[in-house]
Chain A
Amino acid sequence: MPRIASDKLQPGMVLAKPLVGKNGMTLLGEGTELTERWIERIQDMDLEGGIFVEGPSEQTVPLEEALAALEARFETVLDRPHMARIKKIVREQIESLYT
């Protein structure tokens, strides 16, 4: 769920979170696909911080490195109850960030 600056929004991007105005009112719902018109409106609003859109975020660490670190962290506890299952779920979540 990357955060994109207003001036880098592209038509077709889908809002990952509702767009809330300065007064707290929801302007656009989560899941709205942005059109050129909406993007212009958003840019006019001069919102701080950028907009959250659907999609994978850039990962700073290569996948192999992330998985190697995961192995190392779990090394001493893999044979304890539930730990292999927990590791598997974490591993799947990490992998999903790189697709």
Chain B
Amino acid sequence: MDNIDIRTQRTRIENINALPTVPGTVKKVSQVIGKPGVTLSEISQFVVGDPALTTKVLKMVNSAVYGFPGRISSVSHAIMLLGLSVVKGLLLGISVFEIMQQVMAGLWDHSVGCAVVARAIAEKKGLKDPEEVSVGGLLHDFGKVILMLEYQTQYEEAMKQAASRKTAIFEAERAVFQETHSAVGTWLAERWRFPPNLVEVIECHHRPGSARKAPMETAIVHFSDILVRARGFGFGGDPLVPAVHPAAFDLLALTDADIREVLDKLENSREESGSLSL
């Protein structure tokens, strides 16, 4: 099995609608959210036209991930409340749910856990759009899904290497692919016209020191990833807890009580929705 330079595959990956292994549901969502100048009302129509998707959107929006428990009963209400980029992220998260379950058991739990924790920390820090940070938590590992789908043999090799060398999965990815899931996620986030802050969170969540536009949001998702792994909830490709970036952790300035509260919220969200299975 040859290693790949995934950077040479960038254009192919960005053209996600042509990738053979990506399911039709993801492609449909990809087309809608990637359309230049797409309006909330077009998205609303898209969701409302698909009853299964409507159910999932409402379930997700009423869960601990978004903090509006039991209060949103219509798609148009949800969409107006959350705004365009959060809705795009939500739709993508939902469409990716099934493939996450398929390609890596535990990845969905890990991603939802990160979303819940990221949101809780964003609220503590008084950020004005905690839902956007939550989307960053939900989607930060999306690149792993694409790598697993399209380059399964190589990704399984990367996971094996991570396990045997006791290193983080992103280090093994770099060894096998010359780049990590963060890069792949970033290419697609840009293709889907996600806001620059969210793109940066996906790009820099493993190296928050590089964040320029959104250092706080990036630090939040960086630490959320670590905390969810520390708690042993879900699975992100390796069973280890990475070391937190010291400057990012200092930026968050969380007390022990803050961290404990966030862990309690994570615990409650687990119980509330099993594993928020859609």
Q: Do residues A77 and B73 form an inter-chain contact, with CB atoms below 8 A?
A: no
Interface set, chain B 38-74, CB cutoff 8 A to A: 69-71, 73
Is there a chain B Cβ closer than 8 Å to A69's Cβ? yes
Pair count A-B, CB < 8 A? 71
Q: How far is the CA of A81 from the CA of B248 in the complex (A)?
A: 12
Is B272 interfacial (CB 8 A cutoff)?
yes
Tally of B interface residues using CB under 8 Å:
28
**Interface residues in chain A, defined as those with a beta carbon under 8 Å from any beta carbon in chain B:** 1-3, 17, 20, 24, 52, 57, 66, 69-70, 72-77, 80-83, 85-87, 89-90, 92-94, 97
Write 19 A-B pairs (CB below 8 A) sorted by A numbering.
A1-B267, A20-B70, A24-B73, A66-B232, A72-B239, A81-B243, A81-B249, A82-B246, A83-B243, A85-B256, A86-B241, A86-B244, A87-B241, A89-B256, A89-B259, A89-B263, A90-B230, A93-B260, A93-B264
Closest 9 A/B residue pairs (Cβ): A80-B243, A93-B263, A77-B243, A81-B246, A20-B70, A90-B230, A73-B241, A89-B259, A82-B249
Q: A2-B271, A81-B246, A93-B260 are in contact. List 10 more A-B contacts (CB 8 A).
A: A24-B71, A73-B230, A75-B166, A77-B241, A80-B243, A82-B244, A86-B259, A89-B263, A93-B263, A93-B267
Contact surface of B with A, Cβ cutoff 8 Å: 69-71, 73, 166, 226-227, 229-232, 239-244, 246, 249, 256, 259-260, 263-264, 267-268, 271-272
